Structure 1
Amino acid sequence: MTALRSALLVSASLLAACASVPEIMDVSDIHDRTLTLDTHIDIPLTYMTEIDPTGPTELQVDLPKLAQGRLDSGFWIVYTPQGEMDAEGYAAALEIATTRMDAIEALTTDHADQFGLALTADDVRDIVADDRHAVLVGMENAYPLGPDLSTLDAWAARGIRYVGITHFGNNQFGDSSNPHPERDGGEGTWGGLSPLGVELVGRLNDLGIMVDVSHTGKQTMMQAADLSRTPIIASHSGVKAVADSARNLDDEQLRKIADVGGVAHMVALGAYVKAPTPEQQAARDALDAAYGDRNRWDQAKRDAYMAERALISAMAPEATVSDFVDHIDHAISVAGIDHVGIASDFDGGGGIDGWRDASETEAVTAELIRRGYTEAQIAKIWSGNLLRVMEAVEAGATEPVGP
């Protein structure tokens, strides 16, 4: 190689490197300026007892990962699996929900220098401006509320700011997108919302709590949207047009959420981001049949199931950040830029190639930039739309509550 050619190659390499720096800096700068809010972060029952989330841990979300990914805020989830609708079932559900709520409160009190409990949209902004992580609380599955709404005020006072009507399986409030094959016969029980579910929507409006329709059946969702006096949300859902799943939203549902001023948050859970191959689906069906009712699993059985499920996922290329943003693109094309948000479902099954945990959160912003979204649009998708809905729900409350 001649000296001249060598010099030219070095110069070209330097120019290429210099050209890439502004692009990298732009992504990081935009990500840093954007208030990022993830509407669905699950926690194990051993959170704050056996597991210290200030980390590092094996969780997808802990303090080091939040810091590295610059994930500013999110909804920590009080999740309860669906059980029998009887006194014993309600009592067991209440114990699970209370354990998770206690842990979230402990996080924000024991580590108040790093985390703050947010009850309002302004709280989120203030806590993040204070260089801490804003922790909101969502209830996934209204089942632990029991046979009436007598405990809802207390949950609101503790900080619950959205309630998902159902999970897997119909409950006392309405029909699920995935009715239990045995308990529900694989069908709807109520034809949408139950009479108690109708009461629930109104009471959530009264208390300034967002109505969450992820995991609900379509009729449940459409009825809740019509009944609610304030905008609703889907806290963690995909879109059927990209990946056809009972859990995902069709275009009519997306339009309805937009019509009532709500937000549909796209979920980064591989099974709902990218449709399985026929071979994968057959293997998943066999695995589900072998393990039985997931609502009766202990943690060891859940871990074993997830390990086997990971092997099935590896049978084909897994969902990527690009696949995930395909859902965002489609939802925006149908519902509009003001009605779409982001959810990871981390530590509840979420995580895709490129966004496996909170440390890789910037990858989502980078993909949005690559597709031509402006900084203002990205700010809406990451948090602006959700905070707008929170403000509308707060303004519509007739009996707002505090801690």
Structure 2
Amino acid sequence: MKKLVLLALLATTACATTHAVPGDDSDLHRRLLTLDTHLDTPIHFSRPGWDFGARHDHATDPAQVDLGRMDAGDLDGGFFVIYTASGPLTPEGYAAAKAFALGRSDEIHATLSKFPDRIGLATKASDAARLDKAGKRFGFISIENSYPLGEDLSLLGEFYRRGVRMASPVHFRNNQFADSATDTPKWNGLSPLGRQWVAEMNRLGMVLDASHASDAVLDQMIALSKTPVILSHSGSKAIFDHARNLDDARLRKLAASGGAICANAAYLGKSNPNAERSEISDKLEDAGKLGLTGEQVAALTRRLRAIEATAPSQQADFETYMRLVLHLIQVAGVDHVCFGADWDGGGGVPGLEDIDALPKVTARLRQAGYSAADIEKMWSGNVLRLVRIADERKGR
């Protein structure tokens, strides 16, 4: 665990980029406080026989994150996601989504509680350093897609009481709160209810996440929110022109408002559709529902990896990912870049297949001339600053 935590970063909202001459950085990644803002790993928490505490083999298991690899790749913590797919905008649809999201929340708490000596729940920015000092990993909780709230914003308070400290309004499809980046505009940004959602998020002290939202939604969230906005897992149109990614003008706007963008390991290049890969991925995602045995999961995963070796899901690799990271730094600055690779939710490229590879990112940033202090800002300081600001300004 860490021997150095640069706490001063958490009290800094902006400072000039500094560069340092590379030296002996063999243990730099281990010494930094690191987090990822978008871990979809809870999709595996209820999979029969799967152990979050173990170190699983990428070749035979679909998960990209577990406590074993958090140790090996020195990922100190992150935001574990309550993701709910969008459905009908009806009372019945909302009720089913609410039940699912509350169930996923229960699974996250139950899973973390199984390993009290190895990981703890974090609800404040200061918890990250506290748990790290105690020799533990830390887990924040976030919501991807506020669809399960239905039209009852009081449910945000329930999720806050359950530890949620970040939420996004929308996912792949428009919903009752906002337009999606990947759907035809319905509201031209936030809906009237979505504007109330922003105010309630601010009141509770939760970080607003604009990943998956349309450009108009991002613009309006920045204008309306009393606290800076984050994009927990997004990219740059300059690297790959996709609706999920931001243009440079909006990157600068986000930075000017104090927000941050966390580099995604998806939407980095042209996709390569493959029917068999999609079918296998769907089966693995529903392994629990389908009652697949460990042997069946391993066999499907081996086949999936074989397909990925010859037909990767996107035309991108580790070098593409680092081009994204360096471009974000160039445009937004080191005070406004973070990491959210969408692990277990579609992120990952050759050379960056799971969190074992995270030290490579730190090494490349060091080679590019960035100081340890700047790198730690990007790995944790910038995100924890937003968590702290949201908490300090709650109730206003």
TM-score range, shorter chain: 0.7 to 0.9
Q: Which moved more, 1:331-340 or 1:50-59?
A: 50-59
Q: Tell me by how many angstroms 1:394 deviates.
A: 1.1
TM-aligned CA deviation for residue 56 of structure 1: 3.0
Higher mean displacement: 138-147 or 369-378: 369-378
Q: Distance in 1 between matches of 2:364 and 2:80?
A: 25
CA–CA separation in structure 2 for the residues paired with 1:81 and 1:166: 10
SS at match of 1:85: coil
Provide the secondary structure at the position in 2 that maps to 1:66.
Answer: helix
Unaligned runs of 5+ in 2: 1-21, 291-296
2:132 matched residue in structure 1 = 128
Contact 1:244–1:275, Cα closer than 8 Å, also in 2: no
Q: How far did 1:309 drift?
A: 10
Residue range with higher mean Cα deviation, 366-375 or 111-120:
366-375
Report 1:255-266 matches (<5 A).
Answer: 255-266=252-263
Which amino acid letter does the alignment assign opposite residue 162 of structure 1?
Answer: M
Which residue number in structure 1 is paired with residue 145 of structure 2?
141
Query: 1:30 aligns to what?
Result: 28
Q: Greater CA radius of gyration, 1 or 2?
A: 1
User: 1: CA distance between counterparts of 2:302 and 2:246?
Assistant: 25
Determine which of 101, 105, 115 is the counterpart of 1:101: 105
Aligned to 2:53: 54
User: Secondary structure at 2:27's aligned position in 1?
Assistant: helix
Instruction: Assess, with a 3 A threshold, how the Cα gap between structure 1 residues 89 and 354 changes in structure 2: closer, same or farther.
Output: same
Residues 268 and 315 in structure 2, CA contact (< 8 A), matched pair in contact too: no
Residues 62 and 306 (structure 1), Cα distance of their counterparts in 2 relative to 1, 3 Å cut: same
Structure 1 vs Structure 2 CA RMSD:
2.6
Distance in 2 between residues matched to 1:81 and 1:123, nearest whole Å: 30
| Structure 1 pair 135–41 and aligned structure 2 pair: CA distance change class (3 A) | same
- Residue 117 of structure 2 aligns with an amino acid whose one-letter code is D
Q: Equivalent residue for 2:37?
A: 39
How is 1:75-224 mapped onto 2 (pairs within 5 angstroms)? 75-179=79-183, 187-224=184-221
Residues 239 and 155 of structure 1, relative CA distance in 2, 3 Å threshold: same
The letter for the 2-side match of 1:322 is E
Letter of the aligned partner of 2:27 in structure 1? D
2: CA distance between counterparts of 1:352 and 1:71? Answer: 18
Distance 1:361 1:309, change over 3 A: closer
**1:282-305: per-residue Cα shift (whole Å, max 9, x none)?**
x46x899x98xx9xx95589x989
Q: Corresponding residue for 1:370?
A: 367
**Alpha-carbon distance, 1:209 to partner:** 0.2
Alpha-carbon deviation of 1:310? 7.9
Is 1:358 aligned with 2:362?
no
Is the CA contact 1:27–1:365 (under 8 Å) kept in the aligned structure 2?
no
Where does residue 63 of structure 1 map in the other structure?
67
Secondary structure of the corresponding residue to residue 27 of structure 1: coil
Report the TM-score, using the length of structure 1 for normalisation.
0.82
Q: CA deviation at 1:307?
A: 7.0
Tell me the secondary structure at the aligned position of residue 351 of structure 2.
coil
Q: 2:42·2:82 contact (CA, 8 Å) conserved in 1?
A: no
**C-alpha separation in 2, matches of 1:388 and 1:262:** 10
User: Deviation of residue 234 (structure 1)?
Assistant: 0.2
| Structure 1 stretch displaced more, 167-176 or 246-255 | 246-255
SS in 2 for 1:372: coil
- Aligned partners of 2:317, 2:26: CA distance in 1, in Å? 20
Q: CA deviation at 1:238?
A: 0.8
| Corresponding residue for residue 10 of structure 1 | none
Q: Closer, same or farther in 2 for the Cα pair 1:309/1:33, shift >3 Å?
A: closer
User: Cα 1:37–1:391, aligned 2, differ >3 Å: closer, same or farther?
Assistant: same
**SS of corresponding position for 1:26:** coil
CA distance in 1, matches of 2:308, 2:351: 19
- Aligned twin of 2:6: none
Q: TM-score scaled by structure 2?
A: 0.83
Q: Deviations over 1:243-279 (max 9, x none)?
A: 111111111221121121011001112xx12234xxx
Residue type at the aligned position of 2:64: Q
**Residue 268 of structure 2 is aligned to residue 273 of structure 1:** yes
**Conservation of the 8 A alpha-carbon contact between 1:28 and 1:362:** no
Query: What residue is the counterpart of 1:314 in the other structure?
Result: 310
Between the aligned residues of both structures, percent identity stands at 40
Q: Which runs of 5+ in 1 are unaligned?
A: 1-22, 180-186
Call closer, same or farther: CA 1:205–1:110 in 2, change over 3 Å: same
Q: CA deviation at 1:116?
A: 0.5
Amino acid corresponding to residue 34 of structure 2 in structure 1:
T
Which whole-Å CA distance do the structure 2 matches of 1:312 and 1:37 have between them?
27
Shift of 1:110: 2.1
Give per-residue Cα distances to partners, 1:200-232, cap 9 Å, x unaligned.
011101111000000001101110111000001
Task: Show CA shifts across 1:153-189 (max 9, x none).
Answer: 010011111101111100110000111xxxxxxx111
- Given that residues 137 and 161 in structure 1 are in contact (C-alpha distance below 8 angstroms), is that contact kept between their aligned partners in structure 2? yes
Amino acid at match of 2:310: A
SS at match of 1:174: coil
Larger helix fraction of residues:
1
For 1:136 and 1:122, locate their aligned partners in 2 and report how far apart those are by CA, in whole Å: 12
Secondary structure (helix, strand or coil) at the match of 1:162 reads: strand
* Larger relative contact order, structure 1 or 2 (CA cutoff 8 Å, min sep 6): 2
Code of the residue aligned with 2:31 in structure 1: it is R
Q: Secondary structure at the match of 1:137?
A: strand
Tell me which amino acid in the other structure corresponds to 2:52. Answer: P
Amino acid in the other structure paired with 2:148? P
Once the 2 structures are TM-superposed, how far is the Cα of residue 197 of structure 1 from its aligned partner?
Answer: 0.4
Contact 1:354 1:363 in 2 (8 A): no
Mapped partners of 2:200, 2:158: distance in 1 = 13
